[in-house]
Structure 1
Amino acid sequence: MHQSDILAWAHFLKAAELGSPEAQMVLASAYGEAREFVKEEKMLECAYRQRHGDAAYALATYQRAVAGDYLKAIQLFQAGTEYGHRDSATALAILYADGYWSYMGEKYRPAFEQLGIKADAERSCRYEEIAAALEINPDLKLTRLNEVLPLPPAKLPPWNGVADALEPEREGPPTY
């Protein structure tokens, strides 16, 4: 390793220690490639606690594909959506379109039924709308998501579009 590489990793580590979710994600990726999975997960958890959508998505994907904890995966995809992560919203749109992630195969449907997850066209449509909005503006923060698009078994409240889930604009001039 060159001196400049060592210095770069030292800077990433320092930035991660200071709380930079982007640095934590870079280190998580490096730890994953080095098969240091405990350290990778720790970095992802740190970034997730700072409302980082990519971290929520990575943790959700792990829970779904490796750990098989579908409830935790759904909760993490919901958090990722709230944090403005388009692929998290898409994952939930696909889930509610069929009541399970169909690419996994029909044999997994009972596991989702046990969690109370079933096909729900309205939920799927709402997540699709959110994913489309995030495609246009990835900086949206959906702080009211759980109020307007709660996870089952909660019933869906009325929906007027993605704006219902957005953080309300503050009154008066912006503060910087």
Structure 2
Amino acid sequence: QDMITLYEAAASKGHYQAINNLYLLYTNGHGASGTLYAPQPSRARKWLHYGLDKNWAMANYWLFDALYEGNAGYRHNPKLGLAYLQKAVDLGVPLAQYELARIYDKRFKDYNTRERLLDCAARQGFSAAMNELSRVKRIRYGNLKESLQLMHNALRYGGEGGGEAALKLTMVYAKNKALMDKFIATPADPVREAAYAELEKALMGTGTKSGNPFYTFPRLDEVLPLPPAKTRWKGIYSAMSKEDAAFYQNPPDTAALAADILKRGIVKKEEVYWTPRKD
């Protein structure tokens, strides 16, 4: 609830990322902790149209999602949805490029086009595309050096793709390489194994603690460079920018911020109320 209140306050001031997150949350009904809530199609559509009115490239991806899946009060229309996805791709939206790459992979088995689209998204720092492209380089071409670099770069940019890359890197440097057998010749490295495991938990969480996909690690090469360089690992905060490390080590009181926003009337409490699903 505090998260939604804060996003609504930022969105009311036109904050792009907050509006993006609200569209996704109101469409899918997923809370940060994994709790499910009833989707709010009218509110998702409200922010979608805000983006379209502003001519945001990303709004074309939201419209694709709405039409392709029948979300945000739109009728299910996959053909029209794909047209908007292509428009978002042409405008350079990395998420759209990644999504279209998956369609070319699964529906058309066009692996060359898939690879080109993944490369476009990866060059923009989209970690999920980097992670997927690393698999292509490893399996299709046997290029382990490039695959390793792509996984490492995906981790630097964080997100779910970065978390998955961190998990794979943990297995690359472990003694047992059963799940990453193509790296059987890569020497085990306990320091790197432990470091990548720490980074994976920070992004993805554990069974009892949520991760934070917003973590990024711009200083990763300074404290955890790929071999043959020696490691200087001092924990996840050493891999962040100094500003981010200070922020995450001393997080703000979001409940107090949310209460202040409601008190000042920036958003009304009833505007951000969600009804839990009965199922």
Q: TM-score range by the shorter chain?
A: 0.7 to 0.9
Partner of 1:140: 215
- Computed over aligned residues only, the root mean square deviation of the Cα atoms, in angstroms, reads 2.0
CA distance in structure 1 between the aligned counterparts of 2:101 and 2:225, rounded to whole angstroms? 30
Deviation at 1:104, TM superposition (A): 5.1
Which of 170, 184, 191 pairs up with 1:122? 191
CA distance in structure 1 between the aligned counterparts of 2:119 and 2:177, rounded to whole angstroms? 24
1:29 paired to 2:102: yes
CA distance in structure 2 between the aligned counterparts of 1:133 and 1:108, rounded to whole angstroms? 25
Aligned to 2:174, the other structure's residue is in SS state helix
Aligned to 1:169, the other structure's residue is in SS state helix
Q: Report which of the two structures shows the higher radius of gyration computed on alpha carbons.
A: 2
Q: TM-score, normalised by structure 2?
A: 0.54
CA distance in structure 2 between the aligned counterparts of 1:55 and 1:82, rounded to whole angstroms? 13
| Number of residue equivalences | 160
Equivalent runs, 1:69-148 vs 2, <5 Å: 69-84=143-158, 85-98=162-175, 101-103=177-179, 105=181, 109=184, 112=185, 117-135=186-204, 136-148=211-223
Contact persistence 2:156–2:217 (CA under 8 A):
yes
Contact persistence 2:137–2:146 (CA under 8 A):
yes
Q: Which moved more, 1:62-71 or 1:12-21?
A: 62-71
Identity in percent:
35
In structure 2, list runs of 5 or more residues that go unmatched. 1-75, 205-210, 247-279
- Say if 1:132 and 1:19 are closer, same or farther in 2 by CA, change over 3 A: same
CA distance in structure 1 between the aligned counterparts of 2:127 and 2:88, rounded to whole angstroms? 19
CA distance in structure 2 between the aligned counterparts of 1:54 and 1:103, rounded to whole angstroms? 19
In structure 1, list runs of 5 or more residues that go unmatched. 172-176
Partner of 1:53: 127
